[in-house]
Amino acid sequence: MAGLAVRIESLVKEYGRLRALDGVSFEIREGELFALLGPNGAGKTTTIRILSGLTRPTAGRVWFFEKDIFRESLAAKRMVGLVPQAVNLDLELTLWENLLIHGLLFGMSRRAIAQRAEELLRFAELWERRNQRVRTLSGGMKRRLLIIRALLHAPRILFMDEPTVGLDPHIRRRLWGLIKQIQTKGTTILLTTHYIEEAEFLADRVAFLDRGRIVALDTPQNFIQTLGEVAVDVVTSEGLKTYYFRNRGEAEREAMKLSKQGESVTLRRINLEDAFIHFTGRKV
């Protein structure tokens, strides 16, 4: 059984009178891909900022591989790579130069940087473009560069804050492939997202964050199974109602009954969005 990569205990973050995080605790196992899913303002970025050493919590403790990150902050920083929400690359420099600067900031030798940069640029299919200015890249390419920059110093843990926000669906899927490959190579990943299908596709476990609190935490499969297997959506004069059933037979019987009453009925598989609405009482 894999050890613990991240242990977070009772994190609180206050901005004046606003409690952005209200006692957040969870653990991430080594090699796991863990998603923090929540609506805007839930506290996802605040959590990532604390874990990356960009801001201090009001209270709470965090360990990476059993090292207290506030007591051993330098060692902790070297263990993590951060993919921020905003594309903070230097647009006037080339891809290669962006990676070089990052490596030097992390105290890597030029030789080690060159070796690792080549490996990662090839991995992200950006090698041919290494001498282009970042300005000339598409949105999806910039995101790929942002991800490999975070991996340059070979961190054991990768934090990704909304890595696919605002991208077209096919570019998002390509990034999902890349993220999965990074996990396969052994990196522990924490990502935040408000795209439910992203969490459902990528994550081993998902925590629903709502107004600074974790309201539910489990694997996508377990969340879905808690509700059942098949959902029946019914459009009524009062709006859309959804009913959950353990199997298709039960769902079909109920759907038949409702259609006979003249209701408009659709059957579908239960997904993580159903679970999210069930646990938070609202949409992402």
Ligand X SMILES: Nc1ncnc2c1ncn2[C@@H]1O[C@H](COP(=O)(O)OP(=O)(O)OP(=O)(O)O)[C@@H](O)[C@H]1O
Report if residue 82 touches ligand X, rule: CB under 6 A.
Answer: no
Report if residue 38 touches ligand X, rule: CB under 6 A.
Answer: yes
Report if residue 249 touches ligand X, rule: CB under 6 A.
Answer: no
Tell me 70's DSSP state. Answer: T
158/227 with CB nearer ligand X = 158
- Residue 176 CB partners (closer than 8 Å, separation 6+): 164, 198, 201, 202
The SS3 assignment for 64 reads: strand
Report if residue 84 touches ligand X, rule: CB under 6 A.
Answer: no
By CB under 6 A, name the one of 26, 28, 35, 46 that touches ligand X: 46
By CB under 6 A, name the one of 3, 40, 238, 283 that touches ligand X: 40
43/81 with CB nearer ligand X = 43
Stretch that binds ligand X, among 14-22, 121-129, 133-141, 228-236 (CB under 6 A): 14-22
Report if residue 42 touches ligand X, rule: CB under 6 A.
Answer: yes
Report if residue 18 touches ligand X, rule: CB under 6 A.
Answer: yes
127/195 with CB nearer ligand X = 195
Residues in the chain: 284
Q: Which of residues 186-215 bind ligand X (CB under 6 A)?
A: 194
Stretch that binds ligand X, among 12-20, 23-31, 59-67, 96-104 (CB under 6 A): 12-20
Count of residues that interact with ligand X, criterion CB under 6 A: 12
Query: Nearest to residue 19, comparing CAs of 64, 60, 61, 62?
Result: 60
- Residue 169 CB partners (closer than 8 Å, separation 6+): none
The SS3 assignment for 21 reads: strand
Query: Nearest to residue 36, comparing CAs of 183, 262, 176, 194?
Result: 194
Report if residue 43 touches ligand X, rule: CB under 6 A.
Answer: yes
DSSP secondary structure letters along 10-46: EEEEEETTEEEEEEEEEEEETT-EEEEE--TTSSHHH
Query: Nearest to residue 27, comparing CAs of 61, 73, 52, 77?
Result: 61
Chain positions contacting ligand X, by CB under 6 A: 15, 18, 20, 38, 40-46, 194
